[in-house]
Homo-oligomer: A and B are copies of this chain.
Amino acid sequence: MNAKIKVGILGAGGFTGQELMRIFARHPNTELVYITSSEFVGQHLSQAFPALVSPSTAALKFSAHPQTVNDAGKLDAVFLATPDDVALRWAPEFARANIRVIDISGAFRLSDSAVFRDYYGLEHNQSEALSLAVYGMPEIYREKIRSAKLVANPGCYPTAALLPLYVYRELVDVTKPVIIDAKSGTSGAGGRKEKDGLGYSTVYENFRSYKTAKHQHAPEIAQELSRFTGTKALLRFTPHLLPMYRGILCSTYAFIQKGKTAADFAAVAHKTAEQEIFLRYRENVDAIELRHVQHTNFCDYAHHIDTETGVVQIVSAIDNLVKGAAGQAVQNLNIMFGFPETSGVY
């Protein structure tokens, strides 16, 4: 065995942190040596999360959040699974200490800090770090990720929505409205803390939209969609809360580019799936089911061409905690350190 790199997680007690620990229990190239939490300080993993125990993680103990980068000890990489403001502070510090950072918060995803302020309610005071940050969607930015010091891991909805839009990017007309009707389990809609609107009695046997007017993932999708189509994209994004725990399904309705045919769609769909191990194409949109992607790093996608309306309906599904958060983060880590891209996540 080669020497393993040492990794840490800030905010390991949240949903994404837990999923990271689940992955690191079996990742062959890493050693998880540092986990922090505000709630579980001093507890062993076996006490706090009995289902996550494994030979390589059983002895792990939660530290308090660091006071200085040195508190984290000698790390090769650190994952920030913290609130945005905490990540905004720590990402630059770790990066400056030559510890490579994968930030799973939203702090470094939006390149326009005015938009960031508008959607996150925070002042972005780290413009230097922001200019270094690479948007961590391997299927688009793999080469940049390889050498990045700071990777901004994409949001869960953006991952589900953008991956298939990237596949079909030359076939849809984003100057006409692109309508994204997204549905997520509760783990994608909020964190572990029990708060308003996520109690059992208000989620169970219920369904509704939320943040229709303004969700922080809308500008993230618009930014990337505009970038890879080279056109300012028109977007309508609405997330909904499913009465279940895990998974996001996106129904994206877009106008077909003039002259593009069913054969064109099938061609790019197949071609991408052959090139990208984590993208799986299905020939029927009804075959896209959340249970086929849960606990995996796959993004399943399909399209339905409606000739009468000239609209293509693109359906995609991911596990929001894996491909939409921890899994994609580890995929990024694998790329950054030259491990097989599938290590620990396939």
A211 cross-chain contacts in B, Cβ below 8 A: 286
Q: Which of B236, B243, B292 meets A243, CB within 8 Å?
A: B243
A313 interfacial by beta-carbon distance below 8 Å: yes
A339 interfacial by beta-carbon distance below 8 Å: no
Q: Mark A267-304, 1 if CB is under 8 A from B, else 0.
A: 00000000000001000111011111111101010001
A187 cross-chain contacts in B, Cβ below 8 A: 201
A residues engaging B (CB < 8 A)? 15, 26, 50-51, 53-55, 177, 179, 181, 183, 185-187, 192-196, 198-213, 234-236, 238, 240, 242-247, 249, 251, 253, 280, 284-286, 288-296, 298, 300, 304, 306, 308-311, 313, 315, 342, 346
CB pairs A–B below 8 angstroms (5 shown): A179-B309, A206-B289, A208-B290, A212-B286, A240-B249
- Closest residue of chain B to A178 (Cβ to Cβ) is B309
| Docked complex Cα distance between A105 and B332 (Å) | 43
| Docked complex Cα distance between A193 and B195 (Å) | 10
A247 cross-chain contacts in B, Cβ below 8 A: 205, 207
Q: Which of B53, B249, B285 meets A212, CB within 8 Å?
A: B285
- Closest residue of chain B to A46 (Cβ to Cβ) is B280
Contact between B280 and A179, CB atoms less than 8 A apart: no
Contact between A207 and B244, CB atoms less than 8 A apart: yes
Contact between A183 and B207, CB atoms less than 8 A apart: yes
| Docked complex Cα distance between A286 and B181 (Å) | 13
| Docked complex Cα distance between A294 and B204 (Å) | 12
A291 cross-chain contacts in B, Cβ below 8 A: 51, 202, 205-206
- Closest residue of chain B to A183 (Cβ to Cβ) is B207
Task: Give the distance to chain B from A328, nearest Cβ to Cβ, in Å.
Answer: 17
Contact between A204 and B200, CB atoms less than 8 A apart: yes
Dominant SS at the A interface? loop
| Docked complex Cα distance between A203 and B193 (Å) | 13
Contact between B238 and A251, CB atoms less than 8 A apart: yes
| Docked complex Cα distance between A181 and B304 (Å) | 14
| Docked complex Cα distance between A56 and B61 (Å) | 33
Task: Give the distance to chain B from A93, nearest Cβ to Cβ, in Å.
Answer: 31
If the complex has contacts A50-B300, A199-B200, are A342 and B309 also in contact, measured as CB distance less than 8 A? no
Task: Give the distance to chain B from A210, nearest Cβ to Cβ, in Å.
Answer: 5
A240 cross-chain contacts in B, Cβ below 8 A: 183, 249, 251
If the complex has contacts A55-B346, A194-B196, A243-B244, are A310 and B177 also in contact, measured as CB distance less than 8 A? yes
A238 cross-chain contacts in B, Cβ below 8 A: 251, 285, 313
| Docked complex Cα distance between A193 and B199 (Å) | 8
A300 cross-chain contacts in B, Cβ below 8 A: 50
If the complex has contacts A179-B311, A210-B286, are A246 and B205 also in contact, measured as CB distance less than 8 A? yes
Task: Give the distance to chain B from A119, nearest Cβ to Cβ, in Å.
Answer: 15
| Docked complex Cα distance between A280 and B49 (Å) | 13
| Docked complex Cα distance between A238 and B201 (Å) | 23
Task: Give the distance to chain B from A75, nearest Cβ to Cβ, in Å.
Answer: 26
A342 cross-chain contacts in B, Cβ below 8 A: 55
Contact between B50 and A298, CB atoms less than 8 A apart: yes
A177 cross-chain contacts in B, Cβ below 8 A: 253, 306, 309-311
Q: Which of B181, B207, B246, B251 meets A242, CB within 8 Å?
A: B207
